[in-house]
Structure 1
Amino acid sequence: MAVFLPLLDSNVEGPLIASLARISTLIVPALQSPSQVPDNAKRHILYDQESTFDLDQIIQVLDAGAEKVIVPIAWANDAIGIIPAARLILLLDVANASAVSDRIRSGVSGVLLKTPSLDVDFIGSVSRFFTGASIHVLPTVQELPSPATIQSLRRADAILVLPTSSLTLSESSASQLNIADIFVAPLVSDRPDGLFPTVVTEGGRSLGLVYSSVASIKESIISGKGVYQSRKHGLWRKGETSGAIQDVINIALDCDLDAVEFNVVQHGSGFCHLNRPSCFGEVNGLAALERTLQSRLSSAPEGSYTRRLFNDSNLLRAKIMEEADELCRAETKDEIAFEAADLIYFALTRCVAAGVSISDIERSLDKKAKKVTRRTGDAKPQWVKKDAQPAPQAAPAPSTASASPDAPIRMRSYNLSASSPAERATYLRRPVLNSGEMINKVKPIVDSVRTRGDEALLELTAKFDKAQMDSTVIFPPFSPESMKIDDSVRKAIDIAYSNVHKFHAAQDEKNTLIVETMPGVICSRFSRPIARVGLYVPGGTAILPSTALMLGAPAQVAGCKEIVIATPPRPDGSISPEVMYVAQLVGASAILKAGGAQAVAALAYGTKTVPKVDKIFGPGNQWVTAAKMLVQNDTDALVSIDMPAGPSEVLVIADSTCKPGFVAADLLSQAEHGVDSQVVLVTVNLSEEEISAIEKEVDTQARALPRVDIIRESISKSLIIKTSSAEEAIEFSNDYAPEHLILHLKDASAKVPLVQNAGSVFVGPYSPESCGDYASGTNHTLPTNGYARQFSGVNTQSFQKHITSQEVTADGLKSLGPVVATLADCEGLGAHANAVRIRLRDMA
Structure 2
Amino acid sequence: MVFPIIPLYSQNPTGFISERPYLTLTGQALLKASQLGKDTIKQFVSEFGSTLNLVSVLVETSELFNDDDIVELLNNGVTTLFLQDAKYASRLVEEVGVPAERLALLEGSVYKNQFGVKNDFKLEDIVPVEKLDSKILTQAILSSVRTDRTDGLYTTLVVDTFERCLGLVYSSKESIEQAVERQVGVYYSRSRKEIWVKGLTSGNTQKLVSIQLDCDADALKFVVVQEGRNSSFCHLETESCFGQFKHGLAGLEKLLQQRKLNAPQGSYTNRLFNDPALLTAKIKEEAEELTEAKDRNELSWEAADLFYFALAKLVANDVSLNDVETNLDMKHLKITRRKGDAKPKFVEKKQESKPEAESQSEAQQVETLRLGVYQSEDKKSVDEALKRPIQRTSQIMHLVNPIIDNVKKNGDKAIVEYAAKFDGVQLKNCVIEAPFPEDCFEGLTPELKESLDLSMENVRKFHAAQLVDTMQVETQPGVVCSRFARPIEKVGLYIPGGTAVLPSTALMLGVPAQVAQCREIVFASPPRKSDGKISPEVAYIAQKVGASKIVLAGGAQAIAAMAYGTESVPKVDKILGPGNQFVTAAKMYVQNDTQALCSIDMPAGPSEVLVVCDEDADVDFVASDLLSQAEHGIDSQVILIGVQLSEKKVEQIQTAVRQQTLQLPRKDIVVKCIAHSAIILCGSYDEAFKISNQYAPEHLILQIKEAANYVKLVNNAGSVFVGAYTPESCGDYSSGTNHTLPTYGYARQYSGVNTSTFQKYVTAQSVSPQGLDNIGRAVMSVAKVEGLDAHRNAVKIRMSKLGLLPEGFQ
**TM over 0.5: same fold?**
yes
Distance 1:728 1:720 in 2: 14
Show the 5 A alignment for 1:471-620: 471-484=429-442, 485-509=444-468, 511-571=469-529, 572-620=531-579
Q: How many Å apart are 1:462 and its aligned residue? A: 1.0
The counterpart of 1:679, out of the listed 613, 617, 638, is 638
Deviations along 1:275-305, one digit per CA (max 9) or x if unpaired, are: xxxxxxxxxxxxxxx9x9899559624899x
Q: Residues 405-444 of structure 1: matches in 2 within 5 Å? A: 405=365, 407-417=367-377, 419-420=378-379, 422-444=380-402
Decide which moves more: 472-481 or 514-523. Answer: 472-481
List per-residue Cα deviations over 1:305-360 (Å, max 9, x = no partner): x98999xxxxxxxxxxxxxxxxxxxxxxxxxxxxxxxxxx998652379x9999xx
Q: Against the structure 1 CA distance between its residues 294 and 549, is the aligned structure 2 distance closer, same or farther, given a 3 Å change threshold?
A: closer
Could you say which residue in structure 1 is the equivalent of 2:340?
374
Change in CA separation of 1:689 and 1:810 when aligned onto 2, cut-off 3 Å: same
Output the CA distance in 1 between the equivalents of 2:682 and 2:638: 17
Deviations 1:694-751 (A, max 9, x none): 1100000001011111111111221101111111101100000000000001100000
For residues 754-769 of structure 1, what are the structure 2 equivalents within 5 Å? 754-769=713-728
* Residues 406/680 of structure 1: CA separation in 2 closer, same or farther (3 Å cut): closer
The answer as to 2:250 corresponding to 1:300 is no
- Inter-partner Cα distance in structure 1 for 2:781 and 2:257: 89
Give the counterpart letter for 2:394 in structure 1.
Answer: G
Report the AA paired with residue 703 of structure 1.
L
Which residue of structure 2 aligns with residue 74 of structure 1? none
Do the aligned residues in 2 keep the contact of 1:432 with 1:785 (CA within 8 Å)?
no
- Cα distance in 2 for partners of 1:296, 1:637 equals 69
Residue identity in the other structure for 2:684: S
* Structure 2 Cα separation of the partners of residues 531 and 776 of structure 1: 28
Q: Does 1:704 align with 2:655?
A: no
> What is the distance in 2 between the residues matched to 1:679 and 1:753?
23
CA contact (8 A) 1:773 1:779 kept: yes
Deviations 1:511-537 (A, max 9, x none): 210000000000000000000000000
SS in 2 for 1:450: helix
- 1:828 is displaced (CA, Å) by 1.2
How many Å apart are 1:440 and its aligned residue?
Answer: 3.0
The alpha-carbon deviation at position 451 of structure 1 amounts to 1.1
Aligned-pair identity (%): 55
Match of 1:727 among 683, 686, 696: 686
The aligned residue for residue 701 of structure 2 is 742
Q: Distance in 2 between matches of 1:627 and 1:517?
A: 43
1:668 corresponds to which of 621, 624, 627 = 627
Partner SS, residue 468 of structure 1: coil
From the CA coordinates, give the structure whose radius of gyration is larger: 1
Does 2:412 match 1:454? yes
Q: State how many pairs are aligned.
A: 485
SS in 2 for 1:758: coil
Deviation per CA, 1:166-220: give whole Å up to 9, x if none: xxxxxxxxxxxxxxxxxxxxxxxxxxxxxxxxxxxxxxxxxxxxxxxxxxxxxxx
Matched position secondary structure for 1:407: helix
Letter in 1 for 2:792: A
Distance in 2 (CA, whole Å) between partners of 1:298 and 1:616 is 71
Residues 492, 825 of structure 1: alpha-carbon distance in 2 compared, 3 angstrom cutoff: same
Contact 1:428 1:735 in 2 (8 A): no
Q: Is 2:339–2:368's contact at 8 Å kept on the other side of the alignment?
A: no
- The separation in 1 between residues aligned to 2:543 and 2:656, in whole angstroms, is 40
TM-score w.r.t. length of structure 1: 0.55
- Separation in 2, partners of 1:448, 1:570: 22
Correspondence 1:713 to 2:672: yes
> Structure 1 residues 372 and 647 mapped into 2: Cα distance closer, same or farther (>3 Å)?
closer
Partner of 1:811: 770
Distance 1:600 1:294 in 2: 61
- Tell me if structure 2 keeps the 8 A contact 1:650–1:679: yes
- Matched-pair contact (CA < 8 Å) for 2:375–2:382: no
CA offset at residue 481 of structure 1?
2.5
- Structure-2 change in CA distance of 1:636 and 1:374 (3 Å): same
Amino acid at match of 2:524: A
Matched residue SS, 1:783: coil
TM-superposed deviation, 1:688: 0.8
**Deviation of 1:652 (Å):** 0.2
Deviation at 1:372, TM superposition (A): 9.5
Tell me the distance in 2 between the aligned counterparts of 1:348 and 1:653.
Answer: 43
Question: How far apart, CA to CA, are the structure 1 residues paired with 2:341 and 2:492?
Answer: 45
| 3-state SS of 2:313 partner | helix
User: In the aligned structure 2, how far is the partner of 1:297 from the partner of 1:620?
Assistant: 60
Residue 479 of structure 1 and its aligned partner are, at CA, apart by 1.8
Task: Give the letter for the 1:507 counterpart.
Answer: Q
Paired amino acid for 2:639: V
Aligned-partner Cα distance in 2 for 1:645–1:658: 31
Judge conservation of contact 2:256–2:312 (CA < 8 Å) in 1.
no
The 1:494/1:301 distance shift into structure 2, 3 A limit, reads same
Query: How far did 1:480 drift?
Result: 2.3
Q: Show the counterpart of 2:741.
A: 782
Deviation for aligned residue 1:432: 3.2
Residue 580 of structure 1 and its aligned partner are, at CA, apart by 0.7
Question: Residues 627-646 of structure 1: matches in 2 within 5 Å?
Answer: 627-646=586-605
| Distance in 2 of aligned mates of 1:611 and 1:541 | 28
State the alpha-carbon separation in 1 of the partners of residues 480 and 271 from structure 2. 88
- Show structure 1 runs of 5+ residues with no match: 1-289, 311-344, 366-370, 377-400
- How many angstroms apart in 1 are the aligned matches of 2:314 and 2:622? 51
Give SS of 2:700's match.
strand
Describe the shift of the 1:739–1:593 C-alpha distance in structure 2 as closer, same or farther (beyond 3 A). same
The answer (yes or no) to whether the contact 1:662–1:765 under 8 Å persists in 2 is yes
Deviation at 1:444, TM superposition (A): 0.8
User: How many angstroms apart in 2 are the aligned matches of 1:755 and 1:630?
Assistant: 32
- Give, in angstroms, the shift of residue 559 of structure 1: 0.2
Q: Which runs of 5+ in 2 are unaligned?
A: 1-252, 274-306, 328-336, 343-360, 804-810
Taking the aligned partners of 2:775 and 2:363, their CA distance within structure 1 comes to: 71
Please, what TM-score do these two structures have when normalized by structure 2? 0.57
Q: Work out the CA distance in 2 between the residues paired with 1:429 and 1:578.
A: 35
Deviation at 1:500, TM superposition (A): 0.5
Contact 2:738 2:754 in 1 (8 A): yes
The 1:614–1:403 alpha-carbon spacing in structure 2 relative to 1, beyond 3 Å, is farther
One-letter amino acid matched to 1:840: M
- Structure 1 CA distance for aligned equivalents of residues 527 and 430 of structure 2: 9
Shift of 1:508: 1.2
Residues 675 and 373 of structure 1, relative CA distance in 2, 3 Å threshold: closer
Residues 1:308 and 1:584: Cα distance change in structure 2 (over 3 Å): same
1:410 deviates by: 1.3
| Cα distance in 1 for residues equivalent to 2:311 and 2:725 | 62
Give the distance between the partners of 1:468 and 1:839, measured in 2 at CA: 67
CA deviations on 1:462-498 (whole Å, 9 max, x unpaired) are 1111111011101111122211301111110010011
Cα separation, partners in 2 of 1:442 and 1:295, compared to 1, 3 Å: closer
